[in-house]
Structure 1
Amino acid sequence: MHKQGFTQAGLNLIQQALSIYDSDLRLAVSNRRFAEMFDLPQALYTEGARFDDTIRHLVDCGEYGQVDDVDAFVAARVEQARAFEAHYMERTRANGRTISVEGAPLPQGGWVTVYTDITSVKRHEALLRTRSELLSEEVLRRSEELSATNRQLAATNAALEEAQRELREIEARTRLTTEMMPAHIARVDARGVYTFSNRRLSSVMPGRPSEIAGLHISEALGPAHAKVAPHLDRALNGEQSIFEFTDDGSQRRIRAVFTPDPVEPGVYILSHDVTEETQARAALQQTRRREMAAQLISGLAHDFSNLLTIILGMQSKLRRMVPPDAAPLVTGTLQAARRGGDLLNRIADITSHRAWRPGPVSLGGFLSDLATLARPSLPGSLRLEVRAEAEGCYQLDAGMLQDAALNLVLNAADACGAQGRIDVVFRAVGDTWLELVVTDTGPGFSPQALAHGLDPFFTTKGSDGSGLGLAMVYDMAKLAGGDVRLANDARGARVTLRLPLRKAAAQARSDLVLLVEDSTDLRAQLRDMLTGLGYAVAEACSVDEACALAGGLPVDLVLSDITLEGEAPGTDLPARLPHLPVRLMTALPGSDPLYRRAQAQGPVLRKPFSPEALAAFLTPESA
């Protein structure tokens, strides 16, 4: 309101009368001189006054002289106003004074009119005519025409300046709109030189310049120009091209649309980063493939499992019936059938429901835990080195990634043999990918392994390998929207596990819970609950495995089921890990002796339970 008051005060100070009517023919703005010049009542110079009411009032006051049909006169003026065009005119009013009327339409609709009293100018012209005996009639007439033309020219210039201002505002709004778009919008001419760009190329393709107007497209894009050049040629020849390519510098996936300019030779360019979309699409495709494979395999596995059961039973019976020299054949058949059963279990693992459930993971802590888990399984003369070249926390599924990393380390150990070196490195590739690279000093991949190493059931270990290890690593990477790459370098083999880079806030809680549960499905659910509560999680299936992990990891708390793999129940853990708080859980009934034994040692969490109940159970107050 303060600004509006200043504006109105300024309008009241000018000598001309001014009025602005909107597209509905209602008064939007006027100054005091407008009301004074035409002697208008307050209702007609108040915002919202109707144009036709003002014309009717002026007719009634004799402003337009004698008018026979007032309604027709008012209607004609209203029609002229609806089709308003810029104009300049001069007229003598009924009171004898002469005014100039200068009008111009507004881009938003409506018009502005400025009324100037030029009576004194006209009198001066008349006086000049009567007193100048030396000037010819022709010179006087020319002078009057020139004066009127100058006034009309001034009015036209004002209208042009206003139009120019509007065009500048439209251009500024258009540029601001393009700058706010999360995409690169540009145009190149027939030579491939940028004539327009919204300065977003550097955000879509990091490392490229922002100001590229006047540059050739090859200068702006650098090595990526070779990938887009064929599509640019097609667009210059009049054919729209929509395509995707990977920018080698940033490893981002770019989708571009090249559209021919229909007016003059050139191409309009729209390009944006679809890296995350591509990663999500790859993850979704892998999930659908797994679902289809699970549906196909589950039925086959069920029938084949029944056949193996029949074979095992018949061979066991046959071993008691055949002569001793046939026993090795029966034993071999039994071993082959059992291997088939193991293979079915592995197939079930790779096709069972798996989902990438990312949470905050510190790379340094992850690698430290990985080294602790892997080193006991490696020969003493085989060195394992781990390091994180990328710092901070990232969104990763710690459990699935740990399984994959352990698989790669153990495969590398098999390749190295009794001695050598394995390096595990985490590194970031721009702000697009996070890579886990495992290298070894073994003999490297054979050409056949490079071509088929990720295929299910491909193995170079003969009967000792299932051929599913690398396939499961590949499956995990695809579920996350990433990829796996096999290669050889100067030292040996190199496996690169590439995952989408998603930075995360630091973990709110640093406590490490050792989860001891022998059911794989239930352990996965409990791990999700614990990570959702902010805990880091290590997993074990038995009391012996839990004690081994507790000896090498900085465990803060143990959560264990009562019934576990092996002979020792979970109730043995408090005595075997006296330095750690042990919390027990079970689905056993209250009458079971193991349940009563656990209850004597402290509170017991009954299954099933909610995340809220688990959180309350793990707090120190519940002990």
Structure 2
Amino acid sequence: MQPDTSPSLTTSGLNLIAQALTIYDRDLRLAVCNAPFQQMFDLPDELVTPGATFRETVYHLAKRGEYGPISDLDAFVQERIDQALAFEPHYMERTRANGGTISVEGSPLPQGGWVTVYTDISHTKAQEALLRARASELSDQVLSHTEAQSRTNRQLAATIAALEEAKRQLTQTQARTRLTTEMMPAHIAHVDQSGYYLFSNRRLNAVIPGRPSEIVGKHISDALGEFAYGRILPNLTQAFQGKASVFEFTDQASARRIRVAFTPDESGGVYILSMDITEETQARVALQQSQRRAIAAQMISGLAHDFSNLLTIILGLQSKLTRMGGLPDDAMPLIDGTLSAAHRGGTLLNNIAGMTAERTLRPAATDIGALLDDIATLAKPTLPDGLTLTVTPTHIDGRYMFDPGMLQDSLLNLILNARDACGLQGQITLAARVMHPTWIEFSVTDTGPGFSDDALERGCDPFFTTKGSEGSGLGLPMVYDMTKLAGGDLKLGNTDQGAIVCLRLPMRPAPNASGALVLLVEDEPDLRQYYRDMLMGLGHSVIEAASVDEGIALTADLPDIGFVLSDVSLGEGTRTGIDLARQVGGVLPVVLMTSLPAVDPLHIAATQAATVLQKPFGASDLAPLLNSAGPA
């Protein structure tokens, strides 16, 4: 049963109070009063009805003589109005026209207006007078002191009430502030000049997993741990000296990218704002790599065209020489060598074109174990009898969003490099592991001689090779390029047995919507029909929308929707499929379709908001996204 909080119940409670009480709002209109207020001042009903003005009430009381003789009634009323508009907490005692005495205690309200309590203290005053009359033997000084003490006690009680109200308001403000900061996706904190936490919104463990959330009173080194504290210490030292800073670091334990802002305060302490920017960094890395490739393509395309023409001329002249008679016997080996070099130059041009040509990621739901087994099947026939390839069991359940073609090419390239390093004997190991809920790391290790210092430093630079004339120097750079396009990273290193290459990619679980109700958002009727038929052919039910607003409304009305497929560009409105993905992406899996090039700002923004499917596509491209983990 719900408690009765009706206004009538509140009024009944106020009427039981012996003191008179009024609440006027910021516009000087009566909001609440109790029955003793009307009885104490003998007021008509219209002046105790909510909405009655303060001016009318004062005018009525003054005209009736409540405040004694008044020479200018209008000026007196206006003076009271001005005092009310500039209201301050107060306590006073006033003798009424009827000879009685009342105390008046007023306090402002946080939302405007004020509350006033009127207490009839006539009996107390009478007792004080009787005491004076019956105790003539007491000195006037003692009596005055008694009166003063009584008045002081009443004023002290009023002050305590005001302080209690101020404390309550401060407590409410602190609670609202803490609630607001705890809802923010960042850690907000304040440390004193010694590095001890004075405040924290208890979000540290959300930014750096494994760290405590209750850290007020702890030293920052204890809260962050040795590694993270060591990374932030130089900037923290500068902040203690009064210099603000913003910087980033990668937490070793969680592999997350953290952005930190230090702002000094006036007392030598520091305000701290830190947030997890791992996904932002992955998207930024992918964008930077796309921009680098676009610049490289512009620089190389003209040179490649001219170089290709030169190779064509060289091949033509050498072919003409072979058809000429009367050449010395040692001329043919020279001609064959020139032709071989020219053909190698053509192959090199094709590799360069492959590196700089526009490449679009096509993420699909990928089974990691199956992918590694397929790679082993392709790679093992290329290895000599004395060299073995072992695939370490992954124990990675479910499917994840990768471009399987690019990933397969990258890992095969690394295996073949390891083969060339090992020679005829040795061991190559292919493995994959989850690094927290942030990355999936693929590693290829071998028992070869390992990377030289020069190779560790320059191994991913284009055209750097340790294979002499047999290497193009484009293998590792191509793997590096594909990894960066996916928002990942590539690291070279050595172990006790040989070399290791770690390819780290963002861990993005594939959405599961097999057999589910799919919301299709497309503004072109013909395309909507085409995609609807495709979805139904894959065994899904479909509900359609032509705009972002319509799609959002459907997700609110239909809880059975299991997947959203939306175009990025939707009609002439300002809202796009990106807005839809940002609003419902936290609840439903979303795939955005687009024909925009990868360098278009909308395409880049779409990749940051959801999985992107490049148009045109067929059912074979869409099916892995919708059927990633069996029936829903």
Q: TM-score, normalised by structure 1?
A: 0.78
Q: Deviations over 1:22-69 (max 9, x none)?
A: 222222332232233233344433333322222223223332233332
How far apart in 1 are the matches of 2:442 and 2:537?
Answer: 27
Contact 1:258/1:269 (8 A) holds in 2: yes
2:64 paired residue number: 61
Contact 2:439/2:505 (8 A) holds in 1: yes
Match for residue 241 of structure 2 among 237, 255, 275 = 237
Deviation at 1:612, TM superposition (A): 7.1
How far apart in 2 are the matches of 1:478 and 1:171?
Answer: 45
Specify every segment of 5 or more residues in structure 1 that has no aligned partner in the other structure, as ranges.
Answer: 510-528, 536-607, 617-623
How far apart in 2 are the matches of 1:261 and 1:614?
Answer: 55
Match for residue 90 of structure 1 among 93, 102, 105 = 93
1:46 paired residue number: 49
Deviation at 1:408, TM superposition (A): 1.2
Match for residue 220 of structure 1 among 223, 240, 246 = 223
Question: Relative to 1, partners in 2 of residues 1:322 and 1:196: Cα closer, same or farther, differing over 3 Å?
Answer: farther
Letter in 1 for 2:257: R
Q: Deviations over 1:260-304 (max 9, x none)?
A: 221x23222222222222222221111111010011111111122
Q: What are the within-5 Å matches in structure 2 for residues 107-186 of structure 1?
A: 107-186=110-189
How far apart in 2 are the matches of 1:218 and 1:532?
Answer: 57
Letter in 2 for 1:87: H
Q: Deviations over 1:466-516 (max 9, x none)?
A: 22111110001111222111111122211100112223345749xxxxxxx
Match for residue 288 of structure 1 among 284, 287, 291 = 291
Question: Relative to 1, partners in 2 of residues 1:482 and 1:94: Cα closer, same or farther, differing over 3 Å?
Answer: same
Contact 1:247/1:254 (8 A) holds in 2: yes
Q: Does 1:315 align with 2:318?
A: yes
Match for residue 481 of structure 1 among 484, 487, 491 = 487
How far apart in 2 are the matches of 1:444 and 1:409?
Answer: 14
SS in 2 for 1:84: coil
2:262 paired residue number: 258
Q: Does 1:426 align with 2:432?
A: yes
Question: Relative to 1, partners in 2 of residues 1:136 and 1:614: Cα closer, same or farther, differing over 3 Å?
Answer: closer
Contact 2:25/2:113 (8 A) holds in 1: yes
1:384 paired residue number: 389
Deviation at 1:615, TM superposition (A): 8.1
2:5 paired residue number: 3
Letter in 1 for 2:60: H
How far apart in 2 are the matches of 1:389 and 1:303?
Answer: 51
Letter in 2 for 1:229: L
Deviation at 1:534, TM superposition (A): 8.3
2:496 paired residue number: 490
RMSD: 2.8
Kindly report structure 1 stretches of 4+ aligned residues shifted beyond 6 Å: 529-535, 612-616
- Report how many aligned residue pairs link the two structures: 524
2:417 paired residue number: 411
How far apart in 1 are the matches of 2:621 and 2:439?
Answer: 35
Deviation at 1:610, TM superposition (A): 6.4
Percent identity over the alignment is 61
Deviation at 1:609, TM superposition (A): 7.6
How far apart in 2 are the matches of 1:47 and 1:424?
Answer: 80
Contact 2:38/2:44 (8 A) holds in 1: yes
Q: Does 1:438 align with 2:444?
A: yes
2:592 paired residue number: none
Question: Relative to 1, partners in 2 of residues 1:297 and 1:322: Cα closer, same or farther, differing over 3 Å?
Answer: farther
1:198 paired residue number: 201
Letter in 1 for 2:13: G
How far apart in 2 are the matches of 1:147 and 1:183?
Answer: 55
Q: Deviations over 1:517-573 (max 9, x none)?
A: xxxxxxxxxxxx9999989xxxxxxxxxxxxxxxxxxxxxxxxxxxxxxxxxxxxxx
How far apart in 2 are the matches of 1:365 and 1:134?
Answer: 108
SS in 1 for 2:225: helix
Letter in 2 for 1:327: M
Question: Relative to 1, partners in 2 of residues 1:350 and 1:101: Cα closer, same or farther, differing over 3 Å?
Answer: same
Question: Relative to 1, partners in 2 of residues 1:42 and 1:288: Cα closer, same or farther, differing over 3 Å?
Answer: farther
Q: What are the within-5 Å matches in structure 2 for residues 434-473 of structure 1?
A: 434-473=440-479
Letter in 1 for 2:469: S
Deviation at 1:428, TM superposition (A): 1.7
Q: What are the within-5 Å matches in structure 2 for residues 271-350 of structure 1?
A: 271-324=274-327, 325=329, 326-350=331-355
Deviation at 1:108, TM superposition (A): 2.8
Letter in 2 for 1:478: K
Question: Relative to 1, partners in 2 of residues 1:371 and 1:614: Cα closer, same or farther, differing over 3 Å?
Answer: closer
Range moving further from structure 2, 56-65 or 161-170: 56-65
How far apart in 2 are the matches of 1:95 and 1:504?
Answer: 84
Contact 1:533/1:615 (8 A) holds in 2: no
Q: Which structure would you say has the larger Rg?
A: 1
Range moving further from structure 2, 252-261 or 367-376: 367-376
2:26 paired residue number: 23
How far apart in 2 are the matches of 1:357 and 1:7?
Answer: 65
1:581 paired residue number: none
Deviation at 1:401, TM superposition (A): 0.9
Question: Relative to 1, partners in 2 of residues 1:487 and 1:45: Cα closer, same or farther, differing over 3 Å?
Answer: same
Q: TM-score, normalised by structure 2?
A: 0.77
Question: Relative to 1, partners in 2 of residues 1:318 and 1:27: Cα closer, same or farther, differing over 3 Å?
Answer: farther
Question: Relative to 1, partners in 2 of residues 1:474 and 1:221: Cα closer, same or farther, differing over 3 Å?
Answer: same
SS in 2 for 1:394: strand
How far apart in 1 are the matches of 2:247 and 2:537?
Answer: 43
SS in 1 for 2:69: coil
